[in-house]
Amino acid sequence: MEMKEIKLEDLDTKNFVKEKVSEISAAVGDALAINALSGGVDSSAVTMLGHKALGNRLRTYFIENGLMREGEPKRIVRLFGELGVPVEVVDAQKEFFGALKGITDPEEKREAITRVFYKDVFSQLVRKSGAKYLLQGTNYTDVEETVAGIKRQHNILKQLGIDTEEQYGYKVIEPLIQLRKSAIREVAKALGLPEEIYQRPPFPGPALAARVIGEVTPDRVEIVRRATRIVEQELSRTGAFQYLAILHEDRVTGIRDGKRDYGLQIEVRCWESKDAKVGWPTRLAYDVLEKLSDRITGEIEGVVSVTYSITKKPPSTIEAI
């Protein structure tokens, strides 16, 4: 497929959808295809394109890794169900938390999640399903950052442990590879996805594990999950590009019931960006910042401190891990 960027101002969404649907249709023919849906805008758009092209010859899986936001995957299954797209949930929480146990190094953590996702869980599904085609939501920024060495290598077949594409006939289809995030949102809208999906802030693959500095345990994920819910409730109306809560490993002094205590710190980030390539912290009103802090320290036991990230990207990145 074509690899040149299609800029937002040059994008004809109707035409783009029509083209991609017929490309997928032509590529897969009568075979089966498979994709993993996370509920983010990229994988949601891919799911819709694949469904339009292939109908029930597309198998869409939602992999429950225990690292998702509150209420997922139920919400996603219901939402796609209403659009006529069946989604199968695969419970892999045990596999993910097992692989993450004792790991504190951010890169090892990321590798463990990638390995479990691709090698342990998704590759099983691919083999069992008999699918020969994988639909994948890779976008133009991913490619660029892989080339620049900012993100990790993005070779899905290698990550699936499939080195012999020719022998087994696996093919990867990446229909969004020419688009950046803002263009993908337009495509998602044109595909009939609801605003809560096409306007959804990015939520990268390692999900809440990317929001936990230090060891990722069910308890620590639960803390950052609750902080994430508060941040999303308070910041969704800002229209910011992305907003997130990060649980630090560092402990800081606080006061609990009048006594000195070492507690947890949550870092909040809220970004202005068009494409995640560069970004600026949103100039949130102090009323909003103070409400965030009051809610997070008041509603989540053990948290005594909340900070707001004030560094632009670069030298920061959007996420902390």
Q: Tell the smallest beta-carbon distance from residue 297 to a second copy (Å).
A: 5
User: Strand pairing partners for 255?
Assistant: 260
d(Cα 158, Cα 225) in Å, to the nearest integer? 31
- Kindly state whether residue 312 participates in binding a second copy, applying the rule CB under 8 A: yes
Consecutive H or E run containing 168: helix 165-168
Residue 205 binds a second copy, judged by CB under 8 A: no
Stretch that binds a second copy, among 39-47, 119-127, 186-194, 288-296 (CB under 8 A): 288-296
| Residue from 95, 106, 132, 172 binding a second copy (CB under 8 A) | 106
Note whether 301 binds a second copy by CB under 8 A.
no
- Residue with the two structure tokens 């219901």: 78
161 phi-psi bin (left φ>0, alpha ψ -120 to 50, beta other): left
Rounded least distance, CB 106 to a second copy, Å: 7
CB of 13 to a second copy, least distance (A): 31
Nearer to a second copy, 2 or 257 (CB): 257
Q: Which stretch binds a second copy (CB under 8 A): 85-93, 127-135, 169-177, 244-252?
A: 244-252
Q: Which of 245, 243, 227, 226 is nearest to 235 (CA)?
A: 243
Task: Name residues whose C-beta falls within 8 Å of residue 108's C-beta, 6 or more positions apart in sequence.
Answer: none
Residue type, 165: E
| Helix axis angle, 13-28 to 41-54, nearest 10° | 60
Which listed residue (179, 214, 244, 245) binds a second copy by CB under 8 A? 214
Q: Which of 8, 27, 143, 289 binds a second copy (CB under 8 A)?
A: 289
Please, which residue, 87 or 296, has the CB nearer to a second copy?
296
Per DSSP, the three-state class of 213 is coil
Taking CB under 8 A as the criterion, the residue among 148, 153, 167, 219 binding a second copy is 148
Per CB under 8 A, the list member of 53, 99, 126, 213 interacting with a second copy is 213
- Applying CB under 8 A, which of residues 23, 64, 254, 272 lies at the interface with a second copy? 254
> Among 168, 192, 252, 274, which residue interacts with a second copy (rule: CB under 8 A)?
252
Q: Residue 249 interacts with a second copy (CB under 8 A)? A: yes
CB of 284 to a second copy, least distance (A): 9
Q: Which amino acid is at 180?
A: R
d(CA 136, CA 175): 8
240-276 per-residue burial string, b: 16 or more CB within 10 A, e: under 16: bbbbbbbbbeeeeebeeeeeeeebbbbbbbbbbbebb
Q: Which of 53, 116, 188, 321 binds a second copy (CB under 8 A)?
A: 321
- What is the DSSP code string of 129-142? HT--EEE----HHH
Rank residues 66 and 281 by Cβ distance to a second copy and give the closer one: 281
Q: Which of these ranges, 10-18, 92-100, 200-208, 304-312, lies near a second copy under the rule CB under 8 A?
A: 304-312
- Verify binding: residue 64, a second copy, rule CB under 8 A: no
Residue 241: both structure tokens together = 């590009």
CA 69 to chain centre: 11
Query: Could you tell me the smallest distance in angstroms from the CB atom of residue 29 to a second copy?
Result: 39
Count CB neighbours of 117 within 10 A.
22
Which positions lie near a second copy, rule CB under 8 A?
Answer: 106-107, 148-151, 213-214, 248-256, 258-260, 262-263, 267-268, 281, 283, 286, 289-290, 292-293, 297, 304-317, 319-321
